[in-house]
Amino acid sequence: FNEETADAYELGLNASFGDGAVLLNGAVYFQDIKGFQNLVFNGNNFVVFNAPAESYGAELDLMARPADGVTIQSGLSYNKVELTEDIVAGTTFVQGGEQLARSPELTVTAAATNSWPLLTSIDALVHLNSRFVTEQSLALTGAASNVMQDDFILVGGRIGLLSTNDTWSISLFGENLLDEEFLLQTFQLPELQSVAAYSGVPRTYGIEFRLNF
């Protein structure tokens, strides 16, 4: 397969308000990709193909510290990425002009952390985070193994204790607290005339201890 080159253009903004209490970062971008390299599993072997593609979108990040020990973060990303012409890779037809696999157009994130003195040299901490993504294809558009994953949201959290000098911490954490069922990728099983998939991690929780030295 041939080389891949990209002409990338970006215009960004970094700003702070309230003596640094609020940070705002934003950018818009465009990439013209020549010879975009993509890997396709057609059920028997992997095929690498080159195709012209383009990507454009915008990103916005916000971080605020409204009070001592309180941090709020949020982010918004819009990304449109597509082949600019139809491609046949082995026996797989890939239609141009459609969003590429595992690339949601919209991603929204949010997180909040609150820490406060609890005992001498020990702080308490509470943290929540979330991530929302819009629907996305899990295989190349037009491929036999193509499956659409609907919108989903992941929520995580953590409560814990930590030393004020950041030497150690112990916390109870949870991931995918809403126990969302979602898929990460699909692939063909020609011998069974079916499609298989890798699923996302279900609700997970545990205890974590960290020691910095």
User: Per-residue pLDDT tens for 149-165?
Assistant: 999 999 999 999 999 99
C-alpha–C-alpha distance, residues 117 and 120, integer Å: 8
Evaluate if residue 44 carries a pLDDT over 80. Answer: no
C-alpha–C-alpha distance, residues 159 and 177, integer Å: 14
Record the tokens describing residue 34, joined without a space. 């020549």
Residue 144: predicted pLDDT: 55
Phi, psi of 121, rounded to the nearest 5 degrees? 70, 10
Question: Do residues 114 and 160 make contact, with C-beta atoms less than 8 angstroms apart?
Answer: no
C-alpha–C-alpha distance, residues 6 and 37, integer Å: 11
C-alpha–C-alpha distance, residues 144 and 131, integer Å: 29
Closest CA to 56 of 13, 94, 27, 36: 27
Look up the pTM and report it: 0.86
The distance from CA 40 to its chain's CA centroid, rounded to whole angstroms, is 21
Between 137 and 16, name the one with better pLDDT: 16
Q: Are strands 194-199 and 183-189 parallel, antiparallel or unpaired?
A: antiparallel
Residues in the chain: 213
Confidence of residue 90 (pLDDT cuts 50, 70, 90): low
Evaluate if residue 210 carries a pLDDT over 80. Answer: yes
Confidence of residue 72 (pLDDT cuts 50, 70, 90): very high
